Structure 1
Amino acid sequence: MSAPPRLLFHVQHLLGVGHLNRARLIARACVEAGLAVEMTVNEDPDGTPGEAVPDGVAALPLPAIHAADASFSALVDGAGRPVDDAHWAARARRLETAIAERAPAVLLIEGYPFARRRLRREIEPLAAQARQAGAAVACSLRDILVAKTDPARNAETLARAEALYDRILVHGDTNFAPLSASFPPADALAGRIATTGYVAPMEDLPPWHGDRPDAPILVSVGGGAVGETLLEAAVEAAIQARSHHGAAPAGAGRPWRLLGGPKLPDAARARLTARLATREGITLEPALDGPAFRRALAGAALSISQAGYNTAVDLWCAGPPAILIPFAGPDGKESEQPMRARLMAARGEALVLPEGALTPQRLTETVERALARAAGGPRDRVPPPSLDGAGESARILAALAGVRGLG
């Protein structure tokens, strides 16, 4: 029996963990579709993979790079030093070896040039080498991009995408957010774009059952790297709700569960923990893994979160009432989450509190509105967007690699 076709998936984790989780689901689905998958990860100082890959997927560790801060002002290595030419060269050698020795049938690149533009010096030579070796080249792209106001910037991105890719897999649903809503020239790529549906885990969840007096209010911040402000406001709102005087707010008797995320800064975690030391009914907990988190959402009276891609998918899967505080970045230019939050609000799936308007008092008021709305009786939920993005992506990529017989 011949060896399965190989897929090399270039994924670069810089700050948040959402895109990495999405990539893992796609990689696993590709293995199930008959491909041998290798996925790039940041390397720990001891030379071992610093990020987990799914069962059946091979890790390709590269010398680590990270965003220096939430504004992506610079790239730094695993020790926090600016990335220099030697660091880039070491990464390039690893990638060149992977192409030369393991000959992928498909190279899948996450984001670039629609995002990850700082990786140009790495990705464009990699794509050229892969194509010269006979590989198809494809892009893995989330539903909504950070909007660029400069038409020349968009035109440059379009030209690079046309030069690089055989297929562009957009992990979304055009009925919710067509790519052209955040990238106006997208129609010029229509012949290359395949809209896959949202990348969601395929698992059975109970129907939402948070309409109980003891159901908690669940506050989550994904990985936590940019969630400190939301958690601080939630702590004060929870304290206010549970130590009310006079008329009891709707959430007064409910427990509050705050999930800190693995990338929440240690100083912030310590400060929040100290603030809650003598408070009952309010807990700051480590982040839950995906299945446990979705089960917690299904049993929550209310979810309070940011509006990242995976958070939206989890809310669609679990179905709780929701408040979204979309991340907009230090300069307010991160437009992706605000757009997604607006679209979900327009469908009646959430209330939105802009990050710039977030205060404990405003959050308390929004919690009151959300709980009052949830108490109004059974909700007629809008059907969620298509959620078979991992499986559909795998089918497209397997076909590019020459795998036959996929339905």
Structure 2
Amino acid sequence: MHAFIHVQHLLGTGHAVRAAAIGQALAARGAAVTLATGNTLPPTLDTSGLDVVALPPVKSPDAVFDRLVTPDGRTIDDAWMARRRKATLDAFTRCPVDLLLTETYPFGRRQFEFELAPLVETAKTAARRPLIATSIRDILVRKQQLWKEEWMAGQALAHYDRILVHADPEFVELADSFPFAERVAHLVRYTGYVGGGARPEPPVGDGEDEVIVSCGGGAVAQALIEAALDAAPLSRRAADAPWRLLIGHDVPDAAFEAYRRRAPSGMIVERARRDFPGLLKRARLSVSQAGYNTVLDILIAGVPAVFVPFAQVRETEQAQRAEALARHGRAVVVPEKGLTPERLAAAVDDALALPHATTEVRLGGAQASAEILLADLAARSPGRPS
């Protein structure tokens, strides 16, 4: 069985992390898996067992998401899109495919319609039509125009056999962020959260009773980093704790070195680490944005948390996820707008009054995704298109 997974991350790396985890779960069950990725994968990501196809890379230069650029900052044009489309279709058609999984699309990534619509159409018209599925996180970004969300539902109904939602429905449901969830409900399967797998243990002492400040890849975390550098001595409950600031690999080296030079005594500034979940389990407190993977690691660790959700322009996803944890008494939320060291320090003090307890949440989403997709394949009559 051959699976083809397409993933495109633009700023954060969570999309690629989830796609790789599902690919590895499929590979562990005997599938040959191609992971076609449209941006540079983070160096901390394990892709062992996957055939990684590096498509011509592209990213968003900012949180507006109205322009796509190459790694050297050039805006993409029609010629670039034609090359990218050809690279994707060439990778897909080089051998028969039994499963096509598009990460996010059609529930996002409409900027890549030039590539993904032909990919789905090629799959639908193949002599041996593959199962076509989409993989989406717990919370979708709301659109200002309702017709865009209706279009998403229409595309899923017209072209897709399965919608995997990587969430625990006891915690958050698709309907919480998608107004047409009922229309596609028969295609939806909740997998639980993707993540929480084995990671290396930190060296002895690292993380013990620390305040761990993290920012994922770091591309949109300047406000949090700036505030954290000056917040430590202002906290009543955490001024005595070591603070460890983990800065993602999307932050340029020059900026990283400037942050490290500016850090106060007692604060460790270093790059993001693969043993991050282990650090959290030993920590006094976590301070972070509210990306999918970070929140999952915090839930598993059971550590009190301060969230500064990324909310620039029209982003709603992280704020909604952070508020869900706040409702469960697991976090204090500080808006990114108007963030100051004083406000962050006050939130740290409030969060340290929260209990250190694990929230029961359904995990194993990558493994469940693989099992659902393989069961869907097994249920299809041999040679019969869906």
TM-score normalised to structure 2 length: 0.91
Secondary structure of 1:355's aligned partner: coil
Aligned ranges for residues 68-217 of structure 1 at < 5 Å?
68-133=61-126, 134-203=129-198, 215-217=209-211
Number of the residue aligned with 1:288: 273
**Partner of residue 354 from structure 1, selected from 335, 347, 370:** 335
Deviation at 1:100?
A: 2.5
SS in 2 for 1:122: helix
Aligned length: 373
Which sections of structure 2, spanning at least 5 residues, go unmatched? Answer: 381-386
State the partner residue of 1:232.
Answer: 226
Tell me the secondary structure at the aligned position of residue 67 of structure 1: coil
Q: Please name the residue that 1:252 is paired with.
A: 239
Runs of 4+ in 1 over 6 A off after TM superposition: none
For 2:61 and 2:197, locate their aligned partners in 1 and report how far apart those are by CA, in whole Å: 34
Distance 1:12 1:21 in 2: 11
Structure 1: which 5+ runs fail to align?
242-248
- Other-structure match for 2:255: 268
Give yes or no for the alignment of 1:395 onto 2:382. no
Give the distance between the partners of 2:320 and 2:106, measured in 1 at CA: 20
1:43 shift after superposition: 7.0
Aligned match for 1:363, one of 303, 323, 344: 344
Q: Deviations along 1:166-208, whole A, 9 cap, x unmatched?
A: 10111111111110110010110011111111102333999xx
Q: Secondary structure at the match of 2:101?
A: strand
Q: Is the 8 A contact 1:227 1:264 kept in 2?
A: no
Distance verdict in 2 for CA 1:261–1:275, change over 3 Å: same
Code of the residue aligned with 1:259 in structure 2: it is: L
For 1:327 and 1:81, locate their aligned partners in 2 and report how far apart those are by CA, in whole Å: 25
Go from structure 1 to structure 2 and tell me whether the alpha carbon gap of 1:137 and 1:340 turns closer, same or farther (over 3 Å shift): same
1:60/1:116 Cα in 2 relative to 1: closer, same or farther (>3 Å)?
A: same
Give 1:136 deviation, angstroms.
Answer: 1.4
CA RMSD of aligned residues (A): 2.3
Structure 1 residue 381, shift from structure 2 partner: 4.3
Distance 1:82 1:303 in 2: 37
- Structure 2 CA distance for partners of 1:155 and 1:260, relative to 1, 3 Å: same
Task: Report how far residue 61 of structure 1 moved.
Answer: 1.6
Conserved? CA contact 1:228–1:264, under 8 Å: no
TM-superposed CA distance for 1:317, in Å, is 1.4
- Report the secondary structure of 2:16's partner residue: helix
Q: Select which of 34, 39, 42 maps to 1:38.
A: 34
Greater Rg by CA: 1
SS of 1:190 mapped into structure 2? helix
By how many angstroms is 1:50 displaced?
8.4
C-alpha displacement of 1:131: 1.7
